[in-house]
Amino acid sequence: MARKTPNTWPEPLPAAEALTCALCQRETPTLTQHHLTPISRGRRQGIKVQDLPSVGLCAACHNYVHTTFSNSELAGFYGSLEALQEHEGVQKFVAWVRKQPIGKAVKVK
């Protein structure tokens, strides 16, 4: 016969709120902070790191951006989210990555 003991299991934790990637619009449990002006360039201009404009990107999009563009290109041509979204390569990547499950490890070349 089973013992009648009180339930000692902890209450389940509430589900974490899903965050949305600014580039691909996928919901993800974690985001990485992408500085639209690279930290190295911002420091040269005398801007504090916490004052640099930034957006939350999923790991796949963040890896793609830094693999595809140099810091010079990011600072000069792609210093805004709109500029990144207009780039043809980024559009193709975003169209592809939106079809991938969020838990899938995405390799960026």
* pTM greater than 0.85 (yes/no): no
Q: Quick check: 66 and 99 in contact, CB under 8 A?
A: no
Position 1 in a domain: no
Position 31 in a domain: yes
Q: Which domain holds residue 66?
A: 19-97
Position 13 in a domain: no
CATH number at residue 53: 1.10.30
What is the Cα 54 distance to its own chain's centre? 11
Q: Which of 92, 52, 96 is nearest to 74 (CA)?
A: 52
pLDDT in tens, 21-74: 999 999 998 999 999 988 888 878 888 888 889 999 999 999 999 999 999 999
Output the pLDDT for position 90: 97
The number of distinct structural domains making up the chain is 1
Position 78 in a domain: yes
Looking at residue 100, the DSSP 8-state letter turns out to be S
Position 81 in a domain: yes
Q: 3-class DSSP state for residue 49?
A: helix
61 vs 50: CA distance, rounded Å: 21
